[in-house]
Amino acid sequence: MKTDDKKPMNARIVFVGVVFSIVYLVIALTAVNTQILKGEWLRKKAVVGHKKFVTGSGKRGTIYDANHKELAVTIDSTSIAVRPKLIKDPKAEAVRVAKVLGLSRKNVEKKFTSQKNFLWLKRHATFSQVEKIKGLNIENGILFLPEHKRFFPSKELAGQVIGFTDIDEKGLEGIEYLYDKVLSREKRSPTVFLSEKVDTDGRRNDESKGLSVVLTIDKSIQYIAESAICEAAEEFEAKRAFAVVMSPKTGAVFAIAQYPFFDPNNYKRFDSSIWRNRAVSDQFEPGSTLKIFLAAAALKSQKYDENSIFFCENGVYNIGRNRIHDTHSYGWLTLLKIIKYSSNIGSTKVIEEIGKKNYETTLRNFGFGGKTGIDYPGESIGRFASSDKWKTIDASAISFGQGISVSAIQLASALSAIANKGMLYKPYIVKDIIDENNKVVKKIEPEFIRRVISEKTSIKLKKIMHAVTTDGGTGVNAAVNGYMVCGKTGTAQKIDQYGKYAKNRFIASFVGFAPEKNPEITVVVIVDEPKKQHYGGIVAAPVFKKIVFETLNYLNIPPDTKIKRFTVDAGKRHSG
């Protein structure tokens, strides 16, 4: 070959060599960029296509009663999911799976033929269901995923207080709702790899655990209260009933019972109207139980004492076109006997004497017309108009507890102030927040609000309230053997859909505390729309009696062996 012929050949070789060199360089640079510079990003991108994020949380904290008995716990559970693209015979497998899980065949088949990578079949399946599905030997297409499930070991006990969570353990009602962030603490997103076989044997141990909550609620006292209101509600065929038991010295709530009950483990099986805690959220007209605070206003004025006498018009009293009646005909009655016999006319005469502004001020000082501040969601403020808007008949009605609305927790709080030497404390349900080692992270101390009456006035009110439970008093059925108790009956008509008082719908109540000299418990009992009887002294007083007797025995409060009856002097006369 001539030299001149070799030159074009060499040029082509050089050109090809340069091209290949450039190609190799590009490949090398791409490899470096892919494996080194973008390696981590691509790895994550690849993983995303092979895994499923399941929203969830770490193990939820426990809810304990005052004695650290479990009221709400989190247990291990297994949920069943499907990878549709890996199911070889969707139609046939859907029949088998639907039968085991008790699901619709069509729905299961629809999930098995879906184009999605992941779908739930059964959240929180039973052990039997899990084992049977495993026995079907559906390779790769079925996942058994470890989860947590909220469980309430005492079932209905304190159901409305504790509340419940949804399937993902998010608090929906009660303490579970209010303390949701505390109980769940740190949110998690458990990862399920679609390329791996996941089973219940592979539970992760690195998850966080929420803080736990210790309540002031005592399971034993809660059971006593629930049993008592259940008996009364069933005996008198009441629409509902509830009771509050609390410490007058601290504001700690020992029990909030509500009938009908519901099981938070299966809350969807119950009507949603039963879920809420009516002792906190509902308002009602208190009826004659409010006369206690009328007596407080009279005594506080220092113009009257328990022996001051008012003329009760022999059973009928006209106020303009309106007429006030008593159940019995009374002439002159002392302030003590007005409360003991629950005279509406006597109460009207008292408010005429002390003035409506003084009465309003007393009621507001006791906490009516405002929230108590209890650590519980949905508290009602009640309905309480300013006294400058009261007409004469309005003042009369409010003197005996009609035309004003309160909640059971407001009543319990206000009564506790009388029991506690005139000192008002904020009611509360949670006393401690603790970690998984039972170390107290936050302690809730009793919170003093204000003094509402003097200790001297408190003593006089106790004497008046004790008289209610003695012979001739409307609350004689609340008297407890071995203990001097203080209380007041209430019977209030309910307002109908037209804004008028219904003739056959009542709220029967009894409120009080015990023992008289050193009260340890305040008890409020409300029975809504009893049918066979409607008087508080007949329907609610025996419930109070049972709760007080059994609770004082449980608390080891010794009975008073020196109980003596007292008499009332004639006293001074006030026409009113």
Active site residues: 288
End-to-end CA distance of the chain: 143
With H, G, I as helix, E, B as strand and everything else as coil, classify residue 529: coil
Q: Which residues contact 54 (CB under 8 A, 6 or more apart)?
A: 145, 189, 190, 191, 192
With H, G, I as helix, E, B as strand and everything else as coil, classify residue 361: helix
Return d(Cα 223, Cα 540) in angstroms, integer. 17
- Asked, as a colleague might, if the bond just before 515 is cis with ω within 30 of 0, I would say yes
The residue type of 231 is E
DSSP character at residue 37: I
Cβ–Cβ under 8 Å, residues 336 and 385: no
Return the bridge partners of 145, or none.
Answer: 79
Cβ–Cβ under 8 Å, residues 507 and 528: yes
**Nearest alpha carbon to residue 446 among 217, 214, 251:** 251
Q: Which residues contact 76 (CB under 8 A, 6 or more apart)?
A: 146, 147, 148, 149, 200, 203
Return d(Cα 478, Cα 340) in angstroms, integer. 13
Q: Which two tokens stand for residue 256?
A: 């909030």
Residue 153, CB-side half-sphere exposure with 13 Å CA sphere: 12
| Phi and psi, residue 28, nearest 5° | -65, -45
* Strand (E) or helix (H) holding 184: helix 180-184
Over its C-alpha atoms, the chain yields an Rg (Å, rounded) of 35
With H, G, I as helix, E, B as strand and everything else as coil, classify residue 177: helix
Return d(Cα 451, Cα 103) in angstroms, integer. 61
The residue type of 334 is T
Distance of CA 380 to the CA centre of its chain: 13
How many other C-beta atoms lie within 10 A of the C-beta of residue 338?
30
**Nearest alpha carbon to residue 162 among 70, 295, 33:** 70
Q: Is 96 exposed, middle or buried (0-12, 13-18, 19+ CB in 10 A)?
A: middle
| Residue 576 Cα distances to 135, 306, 332, angstroms | 86, 15, 11
Return d(Cα 431, Cα 447) in angstroms, integer. 12
How many other C-beta atoms lie within 10 A of the C-beta of residue 376?
24
| Phi and psi, residue 414, nearest 5° | -65, -45
